[in-house]
């Protein structure tokens, strides 16, 4: 039987246990359950608000380009679509906007605008530091994504997409992007 090289300090595990152990041993923050996310040497608390206050911490640094587009490979800090990101291992639904669907669009124009919104959100995230703010109300949506607003210099990144015609203000119900 061939021997495997021994990596100093490495632990070889499979499945979810390796994820938890890696994050605890590597000092990269907790496991995403609860949720402290370390990024660029700073920490962002994405946990629940205490009911009267909002959870608000600055993340990232100017000049960083830590975000990429998500793909079939699970990635940290990536853009899933125009209103959903993964920050660290935490999925965040941008709470103040709705963007066209790209996974199951109802028409070609919805798909095209959805992809433009996704690309533009990627640019906005990589333009510099921003804050992740709990807007009050529910902590998560029905899919388990954290509901948050992304802010830079007092302005919502989501509202920037609205101003550019790539998103709508979230009113609590989806409306058609076709026709």
Give the angle subtended at the CA of 74 by the CAs of 100 and 160, to the nearest 5°: 35
H helix or E strand, kind and range, residue 81: strand 78-81
Strands 84-87 and 90-94 come out as: antiparallel
pLDDT tens sequence across 52-97: 444 555 444 434 568 999 987 777 899 999 999 998 889 999 999 9
Mean pLDDT of the chain: 74
Query: Domain 32-169: which topology?
Result: OB fold (Dihydrolipoamide Acetyltransferase, E2P) (2.40.50)
Torsion sign over Cα 85, 91, 97, 100: positive
Neighbours of 91 (CB within 10 A): 18
pLDDT tens sequence across 140-174: 999 999 999 999 999 999 999 999 999 999 998 88
Global model pTM greater than 0.85:
no
Do residues 94 and 141 touch, judged by C-beta distance below 8 A?
no
Do residues 106 and 176 touch, judged by C-beta distance below 8 A?
yes
The overall longest dimension of the chain from CA atoms, in Å, is 64
Query: Phi/psi of residue 178, each to 5°?
Result: -105, 145
Reading the block at residue 90, the tokens are 């935490």
Neighbours of 171 (CB within 10 A): 8
Each domain of the chain, given as residue ranges in start order, spans 32-169
């Amino acid at each position: 039987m061939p021997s495997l090289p021994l990596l100093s300090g490495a632990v070889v595990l499979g499945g979810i246990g390796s994820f938890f152990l890696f994050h605890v041993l590597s000092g990269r923050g907790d496991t995403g359950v609860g949720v402290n996310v370390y990024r660029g040497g700073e920490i962002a608390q994405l946990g629940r608000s205490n009911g009267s206050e909002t959870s608000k911490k600055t993340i990232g640094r100017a000049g960083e380009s830590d975000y990429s587009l998500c793909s079939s490979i699970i990635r940290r800090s990536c853009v899933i679509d125009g209103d959903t990101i993964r920050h660290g291992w935490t999925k965040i639904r941008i709470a103040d906007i709705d963007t066209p669907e790209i996974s199951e669009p109802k028409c070609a124009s919805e798909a095209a605008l959805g992809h433009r919104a996704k690309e533009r959100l990627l640019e906005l995230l990589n333009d510099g530091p921003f804050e992740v703010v709990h807007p009050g109300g529910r902590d998560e949506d029905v899919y388990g994504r954290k509901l948050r607003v992304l802010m830079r210099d007092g302005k919502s990144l989501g509202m920037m997409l609205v101003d550019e015609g790539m998103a709508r203000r979230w009113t609590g119900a989806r409306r058609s992007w076709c026709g």
